[in-house]
Structure 1
Amino acid sequence: MVTSFIGLANVRLDGLRRAMAAVMHRVHARATAGMVAVAIAAVGLTSTAAFAQTSPSTTPAIKAASIRAVVTVPALKSIVEPLLPPGSELRVLMQPGRSEHGYEFTPSDLAAVAGADLVVYVGLNLEPRVEQAVAKPIEGRTVICFAKVAGLQRTGQPIPNTPEALGHDHHHEHDASCDHEHDEKWIDQHLWLDPMLMAKLVGPVRGAIEETLQAKSQLTTEEQQRQGAAQAALLARIQGVDDQWKASVKGFKHTTIVTHHAAFSRLADRYGLTIASVIRTIEGSEPTPGDLAKVLEAIEKHKVRAIFVEPQFNPRAAERLARQAKIGVGQLDPIGDGDWFALMQRNLDSLTTHLKGE
């Protein structure tokens, strides 16, 4: 009886074990399937993300045309800025109110030169540090030297206080093609004060801008048309400046003046004036009593009508000379504030006013 009961218990226990084993098998199978599903889903998500990164669904927009440009002298801004595509950056290195001679460019200025797409400078040793900075070509950067565009090269220094040495005393008519240098040894660096030389700069600047945009794949037909219109407008305005100067100064042909330093020989030569002497013969140095005595002598000898000072320099020496010679004092600004057209108008107004004795 007892033996039969134990056997029956063993049979039931074996059945219970098999049932529990079956349940555990089903649970394990389901868990494994879930893990596999999660893994497959994860792989799918990773692949989708990688495809999204390497195969965008939209075509990127063409970047708007823009150029980073640098000019050294404020007057050059009026030539470069109208030709730049909208959205461009233009930096003027020389600040208004300071002399253009011996100007100290900052590390920030030179960094701007290094990072620019277009650099326009005067040359003729006016900006030696900039010339050094652009001597080594950089891919993607275009450099324009105004003097080279004008076909000029400096070979010497002026002899002070004589009209002949300064190359001013040449009484003949000039036209747009007359850009020769009378003095073989020295070339006036202030090219921007001659409208006809400024006109020569417009075409090369436009060409450089178009080449830069082409290299960036940003030159469109619309931009070419805009630049063409801007170039034509610039040349017309420059011609207007020349015409106005010719008409206004016509009555003062061969009139003698004294200027603060040798900055206006081109202007005088273009429009038939004579510069009898300059007050400051050495850049960065105040005139000596001997210098001033020579200027006073030139004023009397050449019957000078007026002395013209510059806003970048102290006018006291000029005012003292004017009192001694009993002539007027006007102002001619060689630098300006970045608006070349306004600069030329102010200089013309000052010149004609004081030559009339008003």
Structure 2
Amino acid sequence: MNVRRLIPAAALAGALALAAPALTACSGTPSAGAADGRLAVTASFYPMQFLAEQIGGDRVQVASLTKPGVEPHDLEITPKQTAQLGESDVVLYLKGLQPAVDEAVAQAGVKNTVDAATLTKLDAHGPGGHDHEGAHGEEAGHSAEAGHSEGDGHSHGEAGGDPHVWLDPSKYAEIAKGVGAALEKADPGHAADYRKNTDELVGKLTALDTEFKDGLKNTATRTFITTHAAFGYLAERYGLDQEGISGVDPESEPSPARMKELQERAKKENVTTVFFETLASDKTAKSLAADAGLKTDVLDPLEGITDKSQGADYFEVMRSNLKNLQKALGAK
């Protein structure tokens, strides 16, 4: 996938220069980012937006750089969005997922930013299985490199780390705590509110983790096949084996050899279902399912919420994912 940037470096630098005073400000009270005095937070995409809204509550005004229905990896930064960064009190993003965002934030030199990738440990996940060495180990880097399909133009995390951490409720809870602390620092006058909201969200995520553990404890098979290999952390957390058709790039075309390998694996592991996602084409999933005599269903990587999503927010979609996994894996 080629990530196209719509604005030249010079234009980006110029827009950021105009926004420099706001970008470099890191005061303890809200700036003029939100006209009504609320903390102005810019989130890179939905999972970061959800954290800001849940933890910030009515104390924050949250804007997302990624519109609903847009595949986050494909995000192209516009001059208006660059200016939006400059008007923010806090920028919340996940380094390694959206190269255009990473570049804009790096050039801006924003002080009050939160990189979610620094708030939990990243591991390297290929299209099948996972690597326990973590994102900074040499073996992890080779594993991630092997998992990238031809034409996958974006890097994933530091030293090959898989950025899809929000699909593991426990890791998402770790990130939530870091985001809460950052909001407290940016707006100390309302620290108690942020702390209370963070504790409530972490409690809900802990309960969700328990639901997944209990719901996936006893299944007929532990292997699932998905078009987008975004579920490495989820699989690792609950003892499952993810087999991705196209690796970390949901739009890349798998080789005939990979398709044959998956057919054989499906037969050996009693796989019943090929999963696809709502923000990418289901063509490859349906092709594999037809060839192997399997069913198809949705496993949502939760990179955005649209009217096609199986739920209105993170928790609803994650519970839909759990039900779909239970059905496909033959949960008892």
TM-score (norm 1): 0.67
Q: CA deviation at 1:306?
A: 1.8
Which residue pairs with 1:350 in the alignment? 324
The match for 1:184 among 113, 126, 140 is: 140
Matched ranges for 1:41-190 at <5 A: 65-84=37-56, 86=58, 88-123=60-95, 125-136=96-107, 141-152=111-122, 160=127, 163-164=128-129, 166-167=130-131, 180=134, 184-185=140-141, 186=144, 187-190=161-164
In 1, Cα distance between equivalents of 2:167 and 2:248? 20
Q: Tell me the distance in 1 between the aligned counterparts of 2:102 and 2:325.
A: 33
Q: Is the 8 A contact 2:177 2:202 kept in 1?
A: no
Larger deviation, residues 277-286 vs 319-328 = 277-286
Equivalent-residue separation in structure 2 for 1:127 and 1:203 (angstroms): 22
Q: What CA deviation, in whole Å up to 9, does each residue of 1:254-281 have, x standing for no partner?
A: 6111111211111111011112x32224
* Percentage identity across paired residues of the two chains: 27
RMSD across aligned positions (CA): 2.9
Shift of 1:201: 1.4
> 1:13-43: CA deviations, max 9, x gaps?
xxxxxxxxxxxxxxxxxxxxxxxxxxxxxxx
Residues 253, 273 of structure 1: 8 Å contact kept: no
Amino acid at match of 2:98: E
Whichever residue aligns with residue 195 of structure 2, its letter is G
Q: Does 1:237 align with 2:193?
A: no
* Alpha carbons of structure 1 residues 120 and 253: separation in structure 2 relative to 1, 3 Å: farther
Match for residue 282 of structure 2 among 315, 320, 323: 315
Aligned with 1:250 (options 197, 214, 217): 217
Residue ranges of structure 1 left out of the alignment (5+ in a row): 1-62, 171-178
Contact 2:44 2:65 in 1 (8 A): yes
Instruction: Specify whether residues 312 and 82 from structure 1 end up closer, same or farther in structure 2 by C-alpha distance, changes over 3 A only.
Output: closer
How far apart are residue 72 of structure 1 and its match? 1.3
Distance in 2 between the 1:153 and 1:324 partners?
33
Aligned letter for 1:278?
G
Q: Which runs of 5+ in 2 are unaligned?
A: 1-34, 145-160, 306-311
Q: What is the alpha-carbon distance in structure 1 between the residues aligned to residue 68 and residue 328 of structure 2?
A: 24
Change (3 A) 1:64 1:207: farther
**2:278–2:298: 8 Å Cα contact kept in structure 1?**
yes
1:20-35 paired onto structure 2 within 5 Å: none
Deviation of 1:240 (Å): 1.0
Alpha-carbon separation, structure 2, partners of 1:281 and 1:153: 15
Which letter maps to 2:87?
G
Q: Where does 1:260-271 land on structure 2 (aligned, <5 Å)?
A: 260-271=227-238
1:254–1:272 Cα contact (<8 Å) kept: no
Choose between structure 1 and 2: higher helix proportion.
1
Q: 1:321 to 1:152 in 2, by over 3 A?
A: closer
Counterpart for residue 295 of structure 2: 328
Question: How far off its partner does 1:357 sit?
Answer: 8.8
Larger Rg: 1
- How high is the TM-score relative to the length of structure 2? 0.72
Contact kept in structure 2, 1:333 and 1:347, CA below 8 Å = yes
Task: Indicate the SS of the match to 1:69.
Answer: strand
**Partner AA of 2:176 in structure 1:** V
Secondary structure of 1:252's aligned partner: coil
1:152 to 1:279, Cα distance in 2 relative to 1, 3 A: closer
Contact 1:66 1:89 in 2 (8 A): yes
For residues 140 and 221 of structure 2, what CA distance do their matches in structure 1 show?
22
Give the letter aligned to residue 227 of structure 2.
Answer: H
**Inter-partner Cα distance in structure 1 for 2:195 and 2:68:** 30
Amino acid at match of 1:81: E
Q: 1:85 to 1:241 in 2, by over 3 A?
A: closer
Q: Equivalent residue of 2:224, what SS?
A: strand
User: Secondary structure of 2:225's match?
Assistant: strand
- Inter-partner Cα distance in structure 2 for 1:293 and 1:329: 17
Number of the residue aligned with 1:43: none
